[in-house]
Amino acid sequence: MPTKKNRGRTPRATDNPPNQAQTTNSQTASDRPRLALTSTVGDLRRSLEATKATWQVAKSLRDNAPLPRYPLGGATQTFVPSNNAPPVDWTKVGRTLPSDPQLIARRLELGLVPEDLLDLAKRTVELQRQPTKRQTARKKKQIRRK
């Protein structure tokens, strides 16, 4: 009999994850060999073979070609290393409302909204829950069809 979870579909391997006794792979993530830091395509190929990786480097690349180094995004000259970063004032962060109405709703549920922001938080959540004009028009159209 189909359960509410699978709704009549064929069960998948991901539906019931195996427990530790059922696992067929004897290696854990920490036991597997890691990829070595590589500088050429050939080094990467050898490292992938050694770790029995399931992917491979394009065959069109030469073994002595250097691996590309892509920028991480942002201006690295202005980054502040974590050990030099100023401490975060979490009380100040907690005294502000996030811009996401769903996060505000969750904070309200957990009682994490400061007293002075309760009204604003409740109004924001109410506005977010109200249907848009398009949703209202669509609903009216569906009612007319019935």
Please report, for residues 34, 45, 47, 55, the alpha-carbon distance to residue 52 in angstroms, rounded to integers and kept in the order given: 10, 10, 9, 9
Position 23 scores a pLDDT of: 41
Residue 61's closest CA among 37, 44, 47, 48?
Answer: 44
Position 90 scores a pLDDT of: 87
Please report, for residues 70, 72, 78, 79, 83, the alpha-carbon distance to residue 75 in angstroms, rounded to integers and kept in the order given: 13, 9, 6, 7, 19
Position 8 scores a pLDDT of: 52
Q: What span, in angstroms and rounded, lies between the C-alpha atoms of 123 and 101?
A: 10
Residue appearing with tokens 């854990």: 28
Going residue by residue through the chain, which has 146 residues, state the pLDDT in tens, using 9 for 90 and above: 445 554 555 444 444 444 444 444 445 555 555 655 668 999 999 989 999 999 999 999 999 999 888 877 777 788 888 889 999 998 888 889 998 999 999 999 999 999 999 999 999 988 887 777 888 888 888 888 87
